[in-house]
Structure formats: C-alpha cells, structure tokens
Amino acid sequence: MLMLRIQQAERSAVLLGDSVYALVWDPVKQRPTLRVYDPGFYFPQWDDDQDQDFPTRVHLAWELPEDPEAGLKARVRRVTYELGPISEDDASVVRECPWEPGRPSRMTCFLTDSEWLLEDLKQGETLDRLPMGTAAFRVRPDGTELNRLDLWIDFVPVIHIANTIPHGGEHWGQSVIAKVLQGLDELAATDSDSAAASATTGTPIIGLAGTRLPVDRATGTPVQLTVEAGAVWQLGDSGRMDALGTSPQLAELRARVERLMDRIASNSPVTAAGLGTLDASQVPSGCALKLALGPLDALVGSMRLPRGASISCC
C-alpha cells in the first residue's frame, strides 16, 4: 500500500507539478496511514517573518458537493494542522519526542477537521479566517472530536513535493507538460479534425444528377439515398454521379500531426527518442541514440533533486 501511495503522489507531481502527502493516525487500525491529496487542496500559511520552508499552519480544503439523497447541502471541508505551544498558560510545559531524545520541545501539532455550509459563507471570507462559530467539527470513529486535537508530535505531518526545483521565492513546481500544453491542445484538435475527415473519406459525399429519388408512399416526400456497399442507382441518359474526395485534406491533417509531434519533442526535454517516435533506421549509432536521450536523462535527474534529501515535513 505504501508503494501505491508513492506512485499516486509521483503521478500527481509529474502531471500537475506538485503532490502532497499527509501522515494520519488511524485510531481503528492503531497505526499511521499515508494519504495523498490533490495539490489544489493544499494551502500553506506563512508569516512575513517566518521561515519560508516550514509553515507552522497548513490547510487542506476542498468543496463537498450537494447530496440530495443523503439530505446534505454543499459544504466546504477544511483540515488544519497547526503548530503551537503545548500549554498557552504555562510556557514551562515541555515534551520529549522519541525521535529527538534529550531535546524537550514546548511545541505540538494540533489537528482541526471542520465543515461549513457553503450558503453560510460570505463573499470575501478567506480560507484562513472562516467563522468558527458556524463550523461543524468532525468526529473520529473512536468518538474524539477533531477540534484542536493534540497529535503529540512537534511537526506538521504534511509533505509537499515539487516536481521541479522552484524559482527563488516560489514554492510550487512545474508540470512536465507545462511547456508544451499549447502543442498538445493543437494536437488534440488536429486529431479530432482528422477523425472527422476520415468519416467523409470512408463514406464520401456523393452528388447525383439526372436521376429520380424514390418517394415515400406514406408521406409523398423523397427518400434520402444511403451510401452503402451494394447500393444501385439508376441514372438517366444525361445523368452523372460526382464524389467529393477529401483524401488530400486527410493526408494534410496526418502530416500536420507529425509536424506537431516533432514540435512538441523539440520543445520538451523528452525529445523524439523519449517519445518513441524516432526512426531507429535514422540513428547512425548507439552513441547517437544515447546523445538523443541526453535531455531526457537531464530531466529525470533534475526531477530527482527535490525528491531526495530535501523532502521535508512542512
């Protein structure tokens, strides 16, 4: 299950640019579990004078759709992990964690899991300042209310993984396909046009002259002819049949697909060799193929940097 969660997070990071883990204690199984969240649900909160690498408050928030069958209205769910002193009144209260023996800490992480009705929220209310008076706190299976629950750890158990090394002052990575999104969009549109052109090429548009269309006896209206194998139409002495050929347009669309693939490969570190579109007969040697795969190797190496020792709990 651990490897499955890691694969889920890696796919999210490669496709969306970021991924988020959360280490959660399961009171029923009596063990920690790893959960993967959409990076769009991840809202770290930083202060201006705070260490920008480790926020002390992290929100995981998303909208829950309306469920008429269950009688539930549209809601907003927010899961908050926040570091704070163990005791607000007595600063001398400390706790020693097993992973840091001999280093007492006066900080602990609090968990709050709450929901708000979407209709109760007013315009302009930020996620960090939702009214707690209208919040409904969730309850764990063991009956514990998740309202500033002390987790007995001195860190926020949320891990943010960036797909690439962020720029200075930034915290978010970049998707592998971000630089070629326009090319992929054009490729999808061209593929749709090619499919439409294939339909008219396989079943061409036919024009008939000098023939009488069959008439529906019930309505007296002409019956539309159907182009199919074995169909026979009788033409008069001056009759003719013309077929509109769209095969040249189809060939042009297919050639455009090839050009778009080459453009995507040239603008992406994956290259044609990585995409598998490189003709092996055009490669003079194995060294040339190795050089063609060089940008892909560099891309994989750069993606491994933020996933190495720099992975940290937020």
Q: Does residue 70 form part of some domain?
A: yes
Whether the Cβ atoms of residue 171 and residue 160 lie closer than 8 Å to each other: yes
Same domain, 191 and 145: no
Q: Does residue 31 form part of some domain?
A: no
Same domain, 62 and 151: yes
Q: Does residue 85 form part of some domain?
A: yes
Q: How high is the pLDDT of residue 310?
A: 45
Same domain, 182 and 245: yes
Q: Does residue 256 form part of some domain?
A: yes
Q: How high is the pLDDT of residue 41?
A: 94
Q: How far apart, in whole angstroms, are the C-alpha atoms of residue 81 and residue 93?
A: 21
Same domain, 147 and 187: no
Domain carrying residue 185: 177-212+230-267
Same domain, 77 and 120: yes
Could you tell me which residues come within 8 angstroms of residue 60 by beta carbon, excluding any fewer than 6 positions away?
20, 22, 37, 41, 42, 43, 78, 79, 80, 158
Same domain, 135 and 201: no
* Cβ density class 167-200: b for 16+ within 10 Å, e for less: eeeebebbbbbeebeebeebbeebeebbeebeee
Q: Does residue 100 form part of some domain?
A: yes
Which tokens hold the place of 18? Answer: 């970021």
Whether the Cβ atoms of residue 16 and residue 8 lie closer than 8 Å to each other: no
Number of domains the chain contains: 2
Mean pLDDT in runs of 10 for the chain (314 residues)?
83 88 86 91 79 81 92 93 89 86 91 93 86 91 90 91 80 83 87 81 75 79 76 77 76 84 77 69 74 72 63 47
Q: Does residue 191 form part of some domain?
A: yes
